[in-house]
Structure 1
Amino acid sequence: MSEKIFEISFGIISYAGDAKGLAFEAISLAKEGKIDEARETMIKSKEGITKAHRFQTELIQGEASGNKTEMSVILVHAQDHLMNAMNFQQLADEFIDLYERIESK
């Protein structure tokens, strides 16, 4: 595996992992009734996903330019992290909305 693919993979893993952790933290904050803090934490989580997605975009642009990407378990793992974090964010947004609805009653 090339050094560049290795760096991109770990960039995705790092930012996506941080983003998922922040989304989980946001759910905990909402559960405590701290809805505004939860939403602010989700903003940070989404910023992390944006950074991870930039790494992924670099790969996609390379492929579109005719540079074949060497597949590896680490790259597949990175993609898995990114997709799981994005799914978790969607669920976190829903949980926050639900906790907000509960708090308003």
Structure 2
Amino acid sequence: MDINEVAMGVIINACNGRDKIDKAFDAMGQLDFDAARALLEEADKDLLQAHNAQTETIQAQAAGENTEYSLLFTHAQDTLMTITSEHRIAKNLLNVFEAMSAQIETLRA
């Protein structure tokens, strides 16, 4: 296993997810909640790929496979953790924005 190759895969997938999260925030700003939800679901798939690569690496190390230390892998884990938090926040904010939008529509009626 090339730890730096795995790290780059984690970073690329996590950042692809972040791009979709950013687009979801844009959709929320336009009150296009269906598009935002679809983008967050796509981001979830990217983050799952990144998480799986990270988990496989950790499991290999735990099973005794000798893996060199990689600052890039540490960075990849940090990137994944940060973007996963952004994803959770975006999903929660989507629910809040949908509820607020529904309340506003009720008041307008």
Normalising to structure 2: TM-score of the pair? 0.88
1:68 Cα deviation after fit? 3.2
1:49 and 2:50 aligned: no
1:102 Cα deviation after fit? 2.1
1:93 and 2:87 aligned: no
The higher radius of gyration belongs to 2
From 69, 76, 94, the equivalent of 2:74 is 76
Question: What do residues 39-60 of structure 1 show as CA deviations (whole Å, max 9, x unaligned)?
Answer: 0000000000011011112211
Partners in 2 of 1:42 and 1:32 — Cα distance?
15
Normalising to structure 1: TM-score of the pair? 0.91
Say if 2:17 and 2:42, in contact at 8 Å, map to a contact too.
Answer: yes
Partners in 2 of 1:62 and 1:26 — Cα distance?
35
Instruction: Say how many residue pairs are matched.
Output: 103
1:71 Cα deviation after fit? 1.7
Unmatched 5+ residue regions in structure 2?
A: 105-109
Unmatched 5+ residue regions in structure 1?
A: none
Aligned to 1:34: 32
| Runs of 4+ with deviation above 6 angstroms | none
Say if 1:27 and 1:95, in contact at 8 Å, map to a contact too.
Answer: no
Q: CA RMSD in A?
A: 1.2
